[in-house]
Amino acid sequence: MKKLRWGILGTGSIANRFANDLKTYDGAVLAAVGSRAPETAAAFGAAHGIGAENCFGSYEALAASPDVDIVYIASPHSHHAEHMTQMLEAGKHVLCEKAFTLNAGEARRVFDLARKKGLFAAEAMWTRFLPANRALSALLAGGALGELTTASAFFGNYFPDEWPLTHRIYNPLLGGGALLDMGVYAVSFLSMLAGDAAPERLSAVGTRFAATGVDDRSVLTMIYPNGLMSVAGCAIKAQMRPDGFVSGSLGKISVPLFWKAETFSVELRGKEAEERRYPLTMGALAYEAASVTEDILAGRTESSVVPQRATLRVMELLDYARGALGCRYAADEGLCLGEGACRP
Amino acid sequence: MKKLRWGILGTGSIANRFANDLKTYDGAVLAAVGSRAPETAAAFGAAHGIGAENCFGSYEALAASPDVDIVYIASPHSHHAEHMTQMLEAGKHVLCEKAFTLNAGEARRVFDLARKKGLFAAEAMWTRFLPANRALSALLAGGALGELTTASAFFGNYFPDEWPLTHRIYNPLLGGGALLDMGVYAVSFLSMLAGDAAPERLSAVGTRFAATGVDDRSVLTMIYPNGLMSVAGCAIKAQMRPDGFVSGSLGKISVPLFWKAETFSVELRGKEAEERRYPLTMGALAYEAASVTEDILAGRTESSVVPQRATLRVMELLDYARGALGCRYAADEGLCLGEGACRP
C-alpha cells in the first residue's frame, strides 16, 4: 500500500504526540516539519528522525516542499484557518487539530477551498477514530438501544493558576476558553451519538474566566427532533465527571473516559451489564492517520469517520454556546453566533 | 427516650416502605394508619401490626386520633398540601413525602400554618438524612474541596409504557412528571451541596410527555454567586447516569447512586482517590424518622437536616424548571412560575 508523506505544522505538545503516535502506524512516512523558527523545527526533526533538509523554519517552506502529501496542522485554534488555507493553496491535503477553526464560518471557507482544489480536509477529532467509539457509533446506528433518549458527556480540567494569562487556554487572541479546547470533545462525542443530526432546540449557560473573559465552565443541552436530549459540559477551571453516557428505549451504555475510550459497558433493560473492550494496538492518534490514509488513497476528499458536515455541526454548536455566554473572538466579527446552529 | 407515635396517611408503596423501615428504628411507635377506604386501612394495619382500632377509613378519623403525635404523609404530590393542612389543623406534626407540595406557594402556606400552630413540618427527603450525605455535606461545609466549581446529579427512569396514563407518574392531575418525582432528588442533592444558597442564574430546558403533557426529560443548570455551576437532570421515559458529582479547587467527590448513598469517593488533586463508607444500619427511611424525633423532642418545629428554607429553595427551582418547560398544574393558577426562584 502506498504511504502518505506527512508534514507537521507546529512543534508543540500535540505535534510531538502526533509524531510519536504516527510511528506506531506502518502506513505513514513522517516526512517534514514546519515551524516559525528554524531552531525549533530542527530540534523537532532531530527528536523524530526527520532529515535536516525537511525541517523548515517557515510554513511557506513546508507548503512548498515536494516531499509532503498531507499536512497535520498543530498550531493554536486561532491560526487553524489561516494555516489550512496556506497548505491547501499549495496543493497539500490537511488534517487539522480540533477545534477545527474558531467558528463555523471559518470552517465553511476552508472546506469550500478544499473542494475547489479537489483536496482532502478533515478535523483531527481523534476520539471518533478510536475503535471503541467507532464500534459504539455503529451499535447505535444499528438500533442496539432502540430509540435514543438521553446522553451526556462532560470534560473539565482545572488548568494551573500559575499559567500566564497569555497561555492559549486563557488567551482570547489564541482562541482560548473551555468550549474550543475541552467542550469540543464532549460536543463532538454527543453529536456522533446523534448521527450529527441538527438539534431542534439548544440551550447553553455558563460562566467566564474573569481575568481574560474566555468561557470557563458551561453546559450545552441539545434536544433532537427524535426526542433525544444530550447534555455537554466543559470547564477550564473545574474538574467534571469524565464518563460518557447514552440511553435509549432498550437500555444504556456508559463510556469511561469517552475521549480516549478503550471500553464501554452495555446494559440492556432487564439484563446484566456487558463490558466490551477495544484495546488500542497503535498510538491513539495513529487511528486518525490510518483512516485518513485509507480515504485519500481511495480518492475521497473528506473523512469517512468525521465528515465535513460533522465538523460543521460541532462548530455551529460551539458557536451557539459561545454566543450564549457572550464570548466572542475577533474572528467572529460580523457573525451572529448561533444563527446557523439549528439549521437542519 | 420518649417515642413519637406515628400515623401514616396513605397505603401505597412508599407508605409500606416507610412502615417497614420505621420498625428498624427503636425510637418510634407505628400507631395508626389512615386511608380513604376502611378495607385498605385494615389490610395495611394487619400487614404492619397496627391495632384494628387505629386503622382509620378516613383521614378525618386519623386526624382526630389522640394516639398520634406525627403524621407521615404518603399521598400523591397533588394532595400533600391539603393533607398536611388537615393534619396541622388537627394539631399533628407532619413529615411529608417529596415533592413536598406542587409548588413553592403551597409549601409557604403549609409552613406558615405550622408556624402559627407551633407544630413541626418537614419534607421527607430521606436522601439528605442518610449518613453518607450528611457526612458529605459536613465535609463540603468544612471546605474539604476548597471553593466549589461544578456539581452534577441525574436521576432518570424509564417507567413502563404499559402503565395507564392515569398513573400518578403520567397524570398532571396528580402532580405527574419527572421533576417532582425524580428531579426533586437531583435538585435537592445539588442544593444541599450548595448549602441551599440562591442561584444567581438558572437555565432549564426539556421535553414533555406527549400523551399527557407532563414534563418528561429535562436539564436544570444553576449558577451560584460563588461560581459553582450545578447541573441536574431527570426523566420519566429515559435512564440517566446515576451518580452524583462535585468538584472544587482542591479536588472532586463522586457519589454512586447519590439518592441512596452509602459511600462516596474523595479524590484530592494530586492524591489517590479514597473511598468513604457509611453503611446503613437501619432501613433507609428510618434515618429521617430518627432525626425528626430528635428535633421534635428538642422542641424544634423544623428539621435540622432539611430546614424549611431548603424545601422552599427546591420547590422554587422545580417551579422554575416547570415554567421553562411550560408544564403547569391547576394548583399553579395565578403563580408566575420562576418568579421566586432566584430570590436571594
CATH number for the segment(s) B4-126+286-301: 3.40.50.720
What would the grid cell of residue B331 be? 394548583
What pLDDT is recorded for position B339? Answer: 52
Neighbours of B69 (CB within 10 A): 20
| C-alpha span between A78 and A205 (Å, rounded) | 23
Q: Which position among B2, B3, B92, B98 bears the catalytic label? A: B98
Candidates A205, A219, A238; nearest CB to B149: A238
Mean pLDDT of B255-280: 97
| C-alpha span between B156 and A104 (Å, rounded) | 34
| CATH 3.30.360.10 in chain B, residue ranges | 128-281+312-332
Question: Domain A128-279+312-332 adopts which CATH fold?
Answer: Dihydrodipicolinate Reductase; domain 2 (3.30.360)
Distance from chain centroid for Cα B48? 24
Mean residue pLDDT across chain B: 96
Candidates A201, A205, A229; nearest CB to B203: A205
First to last CA, chain B: 39
Question: Domain A4-126+286-306 adopts which CATH fold?
Answer: Rossmann fold (3.40.50)
Distance from chain centroid for Cα B244? 16
Kindly list the residues of chain B whose beta carbon comes within 8 Å of any beta carbon in chain A. 149-150, 152, 154, 156, 158, 201, 203-207, 217-219, 221, 223, 227, 229, 231, 233, 235, 237-241, 243, 245, 247, 249, 251-252, 254, 269
Percent of chain A past pLDDT 90, that is, above it, reads 95
pLDDT band at B335 (very low <50, low <70, confident <90, very high): confident
Per residue in A156-182, pLDDT (tens digit) is 999 999 999 999 999 999 999 999 999
pLDDT band at A334 (very low <50, low <70, confident <90, very high): confident
Q: Which of A152, A168, A130, A166 is nearest to A260 (CA)?
A: A130
| CATH 3.40.50.720 in chain A, residue ranges | 4-126+286-306
What pLDDT is recorded for position B338? Answer: 66
Cβ contact, residue pair A150, B238, below 8 Å: yes
Q: Buried (b) or exposed (e) across A137-159, using 16+ Cβ within 10 A?
A: bebbeeeebeebbbbbbbbbbbb
| C-alpha span between B81 and B58 (Å, rounded) | 17
What pLDDT is recorded for position A309? Answer: 98
Domain B128-281+312-332: CATH superfamily is Dihydrodipicolinate Reductase; domain 2 (3.30.360.10)
Contact B177, B214 (CB under 8 A): yes
Mean residue pLDDT across chain A: 96
Per residue in A116-153, pLDDT (tens digit) is 999 999 999 999 999 999 999 999 999 999 999 999 99
3-state secondary structure of B296: helix
Distance from chain centroid for Cα A77? 11
Residue B54 has pLDDT above 70, yes or no: yes
Cα–Cα distances (Å) from A308 to A95, A104, A189, A202, B237, in that order, read 12, 11, 15, 21, 33
DSSP alpha helices (H): ranges in B237-341? 286-297, 308-325
- Which amino acid would we find at residue B274? E
Q: How many helices (H) and strands (E) does chain A have?
A: 11, 14
Cβ contact, residue pair B206, A229, below 8 Å: yes
| CATH 3.40.50.720 in chain B, residue ranges | 4-126+286-301
